Every structure is written in structure tokens, then in C-alpha cells.
Amino acid sequence: MEEKSFLKQKIDKESPNRNIVPVTTSIEVDGKLSVGGCSIEELVNKYDTPLYILDEITLRKSCKAYKNALEKYYPGKSLPIYASKANSSIFMSNLVSSEGLGLDAVSEGELLTALKGGVPNEKIVFHGNNKSDKEIEFAVRNNIKIIVDNDYDLKRLEKISNLLNHDLEIMIRFTPGIECHTHEYIRTGSFDSKFGFGIEYLNTLFAKISGTKYLKLKGLHAHIGSQIFELEPHKDLGEIMVKVILAAKKFGHNIDELNVGGGLGIKYTESDDPPSIDEWVKTISSSVVEACKKNNLEFPTLMCEPGRSIVSTAGITIYKIGAFKEIPGIRTYLSVDGGMSDNPRPITYQSNYSACLVNNPFNIDSKNKYTVAGKHCESGDVLFKEIELADCKTGDLICVFGTGAYNISMSSNYNRIPRPAALLVHEGEAEIIQKRESPFDLLKYDVLPDRFIKRN
């Protein structure tokens, strides 16, 4: 019997982003897959499919890895901040905050979710390249630090601070001009980006801020992209940021917070080999420490904003297999009961994942190649262009790994398909953290104008 499986790989317990599967993944005596001590098949019997599952231990290990590494390489003056766009919920806000992390939000919705989840206001930062007046007011009223992205933000904050008649601390986001190897849609640090001030504009900006009565430039922010495996760009970023602190000094600004963004990649497939959280933090910390020492600069507080590497590996999605369609000599389509509405990443970024059958996770005797299609009315709704699986049939379950980040948070109701439920698993217990939508929920905001009702 031949066994081909990524499930055989040794688990890195310290840095979950280096594994394909959650750290608690195991195979039960009956040969079936379990995560967080829960049999996936039993969870499906109770909660149906498609089903998002998050493993608490993996989540906590990722948070601790950032906390511990920052403590080790940058003692006493750091804050890891969870980028909630990766997976925003009251539960996630609560969990990261219980691990001592802060949270980054980019909309009133994410801000509200963070506050409801119990993240302390002073540990929240508010981003966005087109914040509304309402969002800015909400953040100011709640004492949430705003990351100024452009002149439009600056103008409105100056106005608000004048009205309030007191100091307002701000951070500014700039584009450091660093190129990194990742999909162009998720690359943000190069000069041609919609986010942040261009580095060449910073002196003008510093002068502008000096000219305001109440704005206090507290910190700098830059984020160079996402799903990055190289360490060099973050080393460069640390150095550039310290140079910017020095430039700001000439205008009388004492910047004492550096936020280096997120971006550390995760292992989606066997060919992915991201650095560990420890290595990533070490690189960025040493780069800042060395640059500060060289320039006789007091160490600023160091912040980073991981999203994917906190939550992605903790998450899996379970689908039920439905229709098969064999096109002789070409391919066999296997269709599942979800797809691009619960995971838009393959169709958006051509992202690759790893998957296995729940009742044959080691893929014993795999001999079939399938194209795994979603159920949406779109030819590109394909989760796997080609995957090798053992014999499977309608009704079997398939588990896709690494779906904790940018799946539920980017999900949609395309084709009026309700969003799956999300569960948390821990030590054999499963709890709902997001309820399954029903088709009726989707009607909630539809309105038929009165005159149409009369006409019918």
C-alpha cells in the first residue's frame, strides 16, 4: 500500500505557520481525521457542511510565538498587533486580546468587532486609505490611534483636534519602496501603491504636521506585502524606518513607535517554506536595534501586524463531495458544496492549498487526479486545478487546510449562498463562533418597493 501524505510531516509546534495542518491534527483509531480532539466526521454530523473550523491551540501558539519572540529580541518595548482583516470576529478579537496582542482594524465594522471582543482601546490601531468622516470620528471618540494614510486624513484630523482643543497622537503610513516576491495584489510596499505617503513626500509631511497646533506625530507605519517568505525585505524595512525617524527629528518630531506591518507567509503546500515567527521577529528586531545603536537613537516601541501567520494554519474548511463529471482524456471534476463564496482566494490569486479526505487522510492508494470545483455559477470557481486523491464518492468529506485567514473575512453570498458556520475546537469540545447563515437571512435586507407589491 502506498501512502502519500503531507500529514506525515513533522509538526513545528513553536511556529504554526511552518505547518500545513493545525498542530492538534491527528488520525483517530478508526483512521479518520480529527482536529482539536474532535472527530471531523462527528462535527459534520452535528453542524453540516461547508464548515469552517478553528483550532484554539494553534491560534494561541501563533500569538505566543510573536509575544515571546518580541520579548526575546526586543525586550520590554513591543506590541504584536493582530491584523483583523485576516479573520475578524468577536471571538478572534477576544482570543488575541487574551494573549496580550493589540488589533489592527480598517473599518468601523472591524473597530466595533474589536471593541465588542474586549480589545482595550489603547491597543487598537485604525488603518485605511479612505476612511469616512464617521469612521474617523468613531476612532477619535474611542481614543483609538489613527494611522494617517494621506493628506485627506491629515486635514480632517487637524480639524478635529482644533475643535477638541487638545493634542491628538497620530501615526503615519509610508511606502518604503521595497519590492518583495508575492502576488501583485497583495504587494503594498512598492512606490506604486494606493496606501500611505510616498517616502519622497515625508519631509513636506513632517513640516505640515509641525505646522498644526495639536497633532503629535507619535509613530511610523509601513507594510510591504503579504505571504512573504524572504527575510531580507523586513531587514531593509527596519533600517529605512530608523532613517525616517532621524529625518523627522529635524522637524522636531520625536517618533517613538515603529509599526513594521505584517506579511510573514505560511505553508499552504509542501513546496512552501516560510521562515519561523521567531526568525522573522529576530530579523526585524535586530535590524531596528542595530540601526538605532548606530545612530545613537533611543529604541522606539516596536509593533508588528501579523494576520495570516496568526490565524491561517489554525483554520480548516470541510466540504461534502457531490457531483462527479468525467471528461474522458481530459479531467474529472469533483464538485463540493462550497467554493468561491467561502474561499475566494483561488479564483482571486490563483492560490494553492492542501487537502485530504476525512475518511482516508493519508490518501492510501491514491491514484486519481481530480479537479475540485465549487458549486457557484462560474467556470473559474475551482478550488484545486489538480489534486491527487484516493477513491472517493458522493457524500465523502474533504478537508482543506490553511483556510483560517482571508477566507471567512473575504467570503460573499455570491449566488445567494449562505455563509458556513464557524466552529472553535479545543480539547475534544466544539463551540460555535459564527452561526451558519440561512437563505432566509439573505432576504433580510431586500426591499420590494410598495408600488411593486400593489402591481403584483
Residues recognised as catalytic: 377
DSSP string, 218-247: EEEE---BSSB--SHHHHHHHHHHHHHHHH
> Using the rule CB under 6 A, is 307 a contact of ligand LLP?
yes
Q: Residues 330 to 389: which contact ligand LLP by CB under 6 A?
A: 345, 349
Residue 309 binding ligand LLP, by CB under 6 A: yes
Query: Which residues, 59 to 98, sit near ligand LLP by CB under 6 A?
Result: 83, 85-86
Where does this chain touch ligand LLP (CB under 6 A) — which range of 44-52, 221-229, 326-334, 445-453?
221-229
Q: By rule CB under 6 A, what string of x and - marks binding of each residue 266-305 to ligand LLP?
A: ---------------------------------------x
Q: How far is the CB of 347 from ligand LLP (least distance, A)?
A: 11
- Per the structure block, which three cell numbers stand in for 292? 538605532
Q: Which residues contact 256 (CB under 8 A, 6 or more apart)?
A: 218, 219, 298, 300, 301
417 touching ligand LLP, by CB under 6 A: no
Candidate residues 32, 223, 267, 375; the one interacting with ligand LLP per rule CB under 6 A: 223
Q: Give the helix/strand (H/E) hosting 370.
A: strand 368-373
Which listed residue (22, 219, 261, 402) binds ligand LLP by CB under 6 A? 261
Q: Which residues pair with 301 in a beta bridge?
A: 257
H or E element that contains 53:
strand 51-55
By the rule CB under 6 A, 219 interacts with ligand LLP: no
Residue with smaller CB distance to ligand LLP, 335 or 411: 411
The answer to the question of residue 231 lying near ligand LLP (CB under 6 A) is no
Cell numbers placing 193? 501603491
Interacting span for ligand LLP (CB under 6 A) from 231-239, 242-250, 262-270, 315-323: 262-270
- Here the cell at position 417 is 449562498
Please list the residues that pair with 388 across neighbouring strands.
369
Burial class (CB in 10 A: 0-12, 13-18, 19+), 410: middle
Q: Does 186 bind ligand LLP (CB under 6 A)?
A: yes
127 part of the interface to ligand LLP, by CB under 6 A? yes
Which cell is 358 given? 476525512
Rounded distance between C-alpha atoms, residue 77 and residue 397, angstroms: 46
State the Cα–Cα distance between residues 353 and 207, nearest whole angstrom.
48
Residues near ligand LLP (CB under 6 A) are: 83, 85-86, 104, 127, 186, 188, 223, 226-227, 261-264, 305-309, 345, 349, 406, 410
